[in-house]
C-alpha cells in the first residue's frame, strides 16, 4: 500500500470478533519510522476495524525521501490478551511541491529554444510547448530559419 506523506489516509479492515465484548478492546496501528514507533488509535466495530491515519508530515518531522518503506502493524488488546492482527510494509511517497516564479521576456533578451521539433505544423508544436505569445512565436520562427 502507498501513502502520500502530506495526505491523510483511512484504512478499513473487515473483521469477525467473537468471544469478547468489543467495548473492552483497544486497537492501534503501529508505524515504525526511523526507529520510532508511532501509535494511531483504531476504531473497533463488530465487523470492521478502521484507522484514520493523519498526514504523516503532521507528526513525523523528518522529510520523506522518495519511496520510503515503513513497517505497519495492527495491534488489538483486551482483558488478558494481545493480538497482532495484521502486519505489512507501507510505501510512503514524498509530497511533490514546486514553486514557480513568473518570467518576463524583454526585447533585448535572448530566446533559447529547447525541445521544439522542426515540422511543417509549427503551430501545433507551439501549442504542445505551451507557447502562446505571438511575439515569442515570431522570434522562434526567425531563429529556426537561420
Tens of pLDDT, residues 37-91: 999 999 999 899 999 999 999 999 888 877 899 999 999 999 888 999 999 999 9
Looking at the fold, whether 50 and 115 belong to one and the same domain comes out as no
Q: Which comes out higher in pLDDT, residue 138 or 105?
A: 138
Residue 129 lies in domain: 105-146
Looking at the fold, whether 82 and 137 belong to one and the same domain comes out as no
Looking at the fold, whether 73 and 118 belong to one and the same domain comes out as no
Report the distance separating Cα 48 and Cα 16, nearest Å.
8
Looking at the fold, whether 82 and 138 belong to one and the same domain comes out as no
Looking at the fold, whether 6 and 54 belong to one and the same domain comes out as yes
Mean pLDDT of the chain: 83
Q: Which comes out higher in pLDDT, residue 105 or 37?
A: 37
Residue 35 domain flag:
yes
Looking at the fold, whether 14 and 79 belong to one and the same domain comes out as yes
pLDDT recorded at residue 101: 66
**Least confident span in 65-69, 111-115, 125-129:** 111-115
Looking at the fold, whether 68 and 118 belong to one and the same domain comes out as no
Number of domains observed in the structure of the chain: 2
Report the distance separating Cα 42 and Cα 2, nearest Å.
19
Q: Could you tell me the pLDDT band of residue 119, with boundaries at 50, 70 and 90?
A: very low
pLDDT recorded at residue 109: 56
Letter string b/e over residues 51-65, b meaning 16 or more CB atoms within 10 A of that residue's CB = bebeebbeebeeebe
Residue 87 domain flag:
yes
Residue 46 domain flag:
yes
pLDDT for residue 117 is more than 90: no
Looking at the fold, whether 88 and 140 belong to one and the same domain comes out as no
pLDDT recorded at residue 118: 47
Report the distance separating Cα 129 and Cα 140, nearest Å.
12
pLDDT recorded at residue 146: 60
**Least confident span in 6-20, 52-66, 99-113:** 99-113
Amino acid at each position: 500500500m502507498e501513502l502520500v506523506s502530506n495526505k491523510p489516509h483511512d484504512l478499513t479492515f473487515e473483521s469477525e470478533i467473537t468471544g469478547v465484548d468489543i467495548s473492552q478492546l483497544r486497537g492501534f496501528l503501529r508505524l515504525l519510522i526511523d526507529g520510532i514507533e508511532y501509535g494511531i488509535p483504531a476504531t473497533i466495530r463488530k465487523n470492521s476495524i478502521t484507522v484514520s491515519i493523519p498526514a504523516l508530515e503532521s507528526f513525523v518531522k523528518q522529510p520523506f525521501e522518495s519511496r520510503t518503506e515503513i513497517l505497519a502493524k495492527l495491534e488489538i488488546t483486551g482483558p488478558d490478551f494481545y493480538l497482532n492482527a495484521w502486519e505489512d510494509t507501507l510505501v510512503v511517497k514524498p509530497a511533490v511541491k514546486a514553486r514557480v516564479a513568473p518570467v518576463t521576456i524583454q526585447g533585448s533578451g535572448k530566446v533559447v529554444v529547447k525541445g521544439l521539433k522542426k515540422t511543417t505544423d509549427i503551430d501545433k508544436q507551439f501549442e504542445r510547448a505551451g507557447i502562446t505569445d505571438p511575439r515569442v512565436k515570431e522570434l522562434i520562427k526567425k531563429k529556426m530559419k537561420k
